[in-house]
């Protein structure tokens, strides 16, 4: 120890804010990494050097083998490593929703009939989960296959779960061509929306208890945020999927008028993201959900207002170069020149090029390590001090995650304590890759 400064040759645990301040002032070098982490870094970087199409093919094979529950047609949230062996984690509705997006976009981009058949099985699997809770539109979030049926692991199916699944089903209904599959999507979506409408747009569990962060009921507002977008997206999706039933549609249109005109939701000023020096709100995970709500509204209304809101929110994260955010903007945002769209596709694809195949939860700590330069000054995202790089961190240097696109892609704090026991499927990469492929067909008109 010399004065107030320190150097470490061995791994040291130290509070992240303290370490960051020491690094910024030049009073510390980054703690050493365990040898296993050093090996993992090299492996992940090497994997990212393989052709992207080859990696996506590998991810697809794993999705439908290692992470696939054949009896349900759905994928698991993660796999667990125990004693050197890998066991499947629980089947997860949200992960399967993003798989449905990927399958729909692959079908739209290539016409692959296998993608449509897999989507059909996925819808059947979601129906079987709904039956486990009484076929009432409130799905258990996670289940395990057991004795020819399902064992509910978690019933927590909150409004954000509906947001993701409804976006997937609206897009899938638009892109798939098989009438039977489209009708299955409509039927399932109507059941879920009936659950919401029957409870005044509040998600309740099997005992009728309101779930936290799931109140989309109509209230008078001066300006709009994600909650008001959620209300609008649920009601517009109900109208969209209710068009086959004139009596039902009449009641839904009355509800829509009440919300959009009497309560002025459609004319609100929406404040979805605020970033000023030292402070930012909300987190990227909230914006991730808000972008899907806006995409649902675009597809169910065709409104230029929602296209512009979507583009503005996606553009707020331009520095993150988030492939999913870019793809959503390309598909659902305002029209742009072919040159601008091609440039955005190139940016998103370049980011996907850094996605590795080894996708586990082993800790990877990047704060203070070359080549990452710390963004100065650090600032608070919501209520958490965020230490960010000046450029997005490549995915091979970020720990595996169930869904990278909802994370802060500039963040340098890693996943302290990650032990590598959870292995993730890479469905986020698969989804973004095929969304970009579909966006390209919209630009060029060719599959």
Cα 347–chain centre separation = 19
pLDDT tens across 242-286, in order? 999 999 999 999 999 999 999 999 999 999 999 988 899 999 999
The pLDDT confidence band at residue 1, using thresholds 50, 70 and 90, is very low
Range with the lowest mean pLDDT among 86-100, 189-203, 380-394?
380-394
The pLDDT, as a whole number, for residue 83 is: 81
**Torsion over CA of 98, 92, 300 and 429, rounded to 10 degrees?**
-10
pLDDT of residue 31: 67
- Give residue 146's pLDDT band: very low, low, confident or very high (50, 70, 90): confident
pLDDT at residue 142 above 50? Answer: yes
Please state, as a whole number, how many other Cβ atoms lie within 10 Å of the Cβ of residue 125: 23
- Burial string for 296-332 (b: 16+ CB within 10 Å, else e) reads bbbbbbeeeebbebbbbbbebbeebbbbbbbbbbbbb
| Eight-class DSSP state of 420 | S
Segment 392-420 shows an average pLDDT of 88
For residue 182, how many other CB atoms are within 10 A of its CB? 15
User: Which residue, chain included where needed, has tokens 């009936």?
Assistant: 194
pLDDT of residue 3 exceeding 60: no
Residue 183 is predicted with a pLDDT of: 97
**Mean local confidence (pLDDT), 122-134:** 94
CA-to-CA distance for 93 and 80, rounded, in angstroms?
18
Q: In the structure encoding, which two tokens stand for residue 138, read together?
A: 């409130």
Q: Distance (Å, rounded) from C-alpha 306 to C-alpha 333?
A: 8
Which one is predicted more confidently, 265 or 21? 265
Lowest mean pLDDT among 27-41, 47-61, 276-290, 332-346: 27-41
- Give the pLDDT of residue 67: 97
pLDDT band at 366 (very low <50, low <70, confident <90, very high): confident
The 8 Å CB, 24+ separation contacts for 213-222 are: 213/158, 213/159, 213/160, 214/158, 214/159, 214/160, 215/159, 216/159, 218/258, 218/259, 218/263, 218/265, 219/263, 220/263, 221/263, 221/264, 221/265, 221/268, 222/268
Assess whether pLDDT exceeds 50 at residue 10.
no
Q: 383: pLDDT confidence band, cut at 50, 70 and 90?
A: confident
Mean pLDDT, residues 418-430: 93
The per-residue pLDDT for 2 is: 38
Q: For all residues of the chain together, what is the average pLDDT?
A: 91
Cβ contacts of residue 191 below 8 Å, gap of 6+?
130, 135, 136, 137
Per-residue model confidence (pLDDT) at position 85: 86
pTM over 0.85, yes/no: yes
The confidence score (pLDDT) of residue 133 equals 84
**Share above pLDDT 90 across residues of the chain, in percent, rounded to a whole number:** 76
Asked whether residue 15 carries a pLDDT value surpassing 80, the answer given is no
pLDDT confidence of residue 331: 98
């Amino acid at each position: 120890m010399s004065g107030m400064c320190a150097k470490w040759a061995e791994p040291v645990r130290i509070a992240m804010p303290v370490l960051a301040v020491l690094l910024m002032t030049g009073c510390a070098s980054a703690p050493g990494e365990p040898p296993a982490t050093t090996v993992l870094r090299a492996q992940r970087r090497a994997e990212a050097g393989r052709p992207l199409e080859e990696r996506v093919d590998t991810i697809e094979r794993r999705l439908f083998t290692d992470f696939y529950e054949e009896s349900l047609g759905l994928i698991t949230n993660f796999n667990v490593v125990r004693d050197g062996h890998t066991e499947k984690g629980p089947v997860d509705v949200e992960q399967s929703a993003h798989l449905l997006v990927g399958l729909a976009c692959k079908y739209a981009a290539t016409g692959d009939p296998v993608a449509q058949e897999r989507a059909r099985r996925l819808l059947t699997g979601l129906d079987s989960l709904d039956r486990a809770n009484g076929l009432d539109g409130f799905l258990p979030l996670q289940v395990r296959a057991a004795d020819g049926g399902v064992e509910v692991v978690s019933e927590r199916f909150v409004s954000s779960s509906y947001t993701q699944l409804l976006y997937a089903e609206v897009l899938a209904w638009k892109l798939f061509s098989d009438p039977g599959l489209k009708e299955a999507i409509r039927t399932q979506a109507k059941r879920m929306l009936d659950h919401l409408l029957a409870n005044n747009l509040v998600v309740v569990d099997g005992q009728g208890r309101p779930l936290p962060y799931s109140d989309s009921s109509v209230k008078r507002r001066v300006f709009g945020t994600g909650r008001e977008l959620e209300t609008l997206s649920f009601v517009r999706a109900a109208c969209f999927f209710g068009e086959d039933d004139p009596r039902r549609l009449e009641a839904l249109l009355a509800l829509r008028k009440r919300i959009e005109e009497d309560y002025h939701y459609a004319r609100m000023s929406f404040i979805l993201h605020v970033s000023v020096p030292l402070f930012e709100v909300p987190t990227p995970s909230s914006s991730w959900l808000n972008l899907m709500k806006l995409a649902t509204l675009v597809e169910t209304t065709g409104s230029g207002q929602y296209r512009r809101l979507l583009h503005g929110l996606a553009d707020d994260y331009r520095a993150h170069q988030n492939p999913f955010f870019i793809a959503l903007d390309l598909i659902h945002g305002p029209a742009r020149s072919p040159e601008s769209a091609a440039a955005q596709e190139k940016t998103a694809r370049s980011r996907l090029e850094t996605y590795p195949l080894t996708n586990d939860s082993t800790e990877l700590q990047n704060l203070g390590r070359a080549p990452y330069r710390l963004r100065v000054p650090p600032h608070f995202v919501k209520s958490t001090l965020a230490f960010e790089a000046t450029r997005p961190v490549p995915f091979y240097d970020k720990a595996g995650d169930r869904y990278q696109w909802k994370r802060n892609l500039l963040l340098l704090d890693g996943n302290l304590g990650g032990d590598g026991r959870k292995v993730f499927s890479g469905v986020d990469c698969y989804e973004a890759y095929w969304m970009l492929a579909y966006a390209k067909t919209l630009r060029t008109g060719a599959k």
